[in-house]
């Protein structure tokens, strides 16, 4: 399997970083991940905008333009011939002499298989627990997932599928997903502060606006529990219904019809993005 590391093409098994990389020493770096569908990168422009913004906020001066990244990505797709897959671009803090200072970033681009479920009815509905937490620099797609990983035993012990971050009674996001509620009045609402604004989230808001009113604003725990439907979104999840939060049933405890409709609208946007209609 081919990958790209600091300007060179190599087999993933041969790709290595030195142990003084700031990503290893301090967990400092950013990344973005997007899917490849029928050998075409999905929503790549949006992902590269977010990657460049994350790198800028984290003071990672890597020297690659978005067009250069696109060229590398297309060559990687051609080399690996993996039509249904995911591509991750990672930008680390670079090799550091004092284990603390940022230096010339290391650039790693990899491709791995991804199998997606196109039938909404086959998606597993999620059960969530909540945890009092807000990520550092939430607008940045950082490689630091310490809290989410640390909470995995707690999530499993509760019989849940993931954790929802909450602060001062307001919800924000999951470690790897955005969250939405659909009110009893049929309005789609998603938190707008202390969250990573996902590309799937953006496309859902655009697509759903054709069938319902959408709004980005603060969402309280009470609103979440009172919602008609709840779902989460992510690049590799698309749309996943949520049927329980902290042991309390959401809506009627079943995947909702409006959530299913949004899933179908997102599928259409994916096909439009890759020219597969």
State the residue for tokens 């003084």: 20
Question: 19: which DSSP letter?
Answer: T
Decide the pairing of beta strands 188-190 and 84-92.
unpaired
**Of 69, 98, 113, which closes a domain?**
113
Number of domains in the chain: 2
Nearest of 246, 243, 199 to residue 32 by alpha carbon: 199
Phi, psi of 21 (to 5 degrees): -65, 140
Is 248 in the same domain as 125? Answer: yes
Is 48 in the same domain as 150? Answer: no
- Alpha helix stretches (DSSP H) within the chain: 22-26, 44-57, 66-80, 146-150, 152-157, 199-208, 221-226, 257-274
Q: Which residues does the chain have with pLDDT short of 50? A: none
Strand partners, 82: none
Is 195 in the same domain as 269? Answer: yes
Domain harbouring 236, CATH code: 3.20.10.10
The encoded tokens of residue 72 equal 């590398």
pLDDT tens sequence across 71-109: 999 999 999 999 999 999 999 999 999 999 999 999 999
Q: Look at the alpha carbons of 180, 207, 33, 22 in this order and tell me if their dihedral is positive or negative.
A: negative
The encoded tokens of residue 190 equal 């998603």
Look at residue 122 in the predicted model and tell me its pLDDT.
87
The encoded tokens of residue 233 equal 């979104």
Look at residue 193 in the predicted model and tell me its pLDDT.
95
Measured in Å, how far apart are the chain's first and last C-alpha atoms?
A: 29
Q: Which H or E run contains 81? A: none
Is 107 in the same domain as 62? Answer: yes
> Whole-angstrom Cα distance, residue 44 to residue 32?
10
Look at residue 273 in the predicted model and tell me its pLDDT.
80
Look at residue 117 in the predicted model and tell me its pLDDT.
86
Q: Do 126 and 255 contact (CB within 8 A), yes or no?
A: no
Angle, helix 199-208 to helix 257-274, in steps of 10 degrees: 110
Is 53 in the same domain as 132? Answer: no
**Of 113, 138, 153, which closes a domain?**
113
Look at residue 276 in the predicted model and tell me its pLDDT.
57
Look at residue 272 in the predicted model and tell me its pLDDT.
86
Q: Domain range holding 81?
A: 2-113
């Amino acid at each position: 399997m081919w990958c790209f590391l600091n300007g060179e093409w190599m087999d993933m098994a041969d790709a290595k970083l030195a142990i003084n990389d700031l990503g290893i020493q301090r967990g400092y770096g950013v990344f973005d991940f997007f899917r490849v569908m029928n050998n075409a990168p999905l929503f790549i422009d949006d992902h590269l905008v977010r990657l460049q913004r994350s790198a800028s906020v984290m003071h990672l001066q890597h020297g690659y333009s978005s067009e250069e990244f696109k060229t590398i990505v297309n060559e990687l797709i051609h080399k690996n011939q993996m039509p249904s897959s995911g591509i991750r671009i990672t930008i680390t803090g670079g090799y550091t002499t004092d284990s603390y200072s940022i230096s010339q970033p290391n650039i790693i681009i990899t491709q791995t298989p991804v199998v997606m479920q196109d039938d909404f009815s086959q998606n597993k509905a999620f059960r969530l627990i909540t945890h009092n937490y807000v990520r550092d620099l939430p607008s940045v797609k950082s490689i630091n997932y310490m809290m989410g990983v640390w909470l995995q035993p707690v999530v499993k012990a509760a019989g849940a599928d993931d954790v929802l971050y909450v602060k001062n009674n307001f919800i924000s996001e999951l470690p790897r997903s955005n969250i939405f509620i659909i009110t009893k009045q049929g309005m789609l609402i998603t938190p707008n502060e202390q969250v990573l604004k996902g590309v799937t989230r953006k496309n859902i808001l655009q697509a759903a606006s054709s069938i319902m009113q959408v709004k980005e604003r603060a969402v309280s725990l009470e609103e979440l529990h009172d919602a008609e439907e709840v779902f989460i979104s992510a690049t590799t999840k698309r749309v996943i219904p949520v049927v329980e939060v902290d042991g309390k049933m959401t809506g009627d405890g079943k995947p909702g019809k409006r959530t299913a409709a949004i899933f179908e609208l997102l599928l259409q946007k994916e096909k439009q993005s890759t020219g597969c209609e």
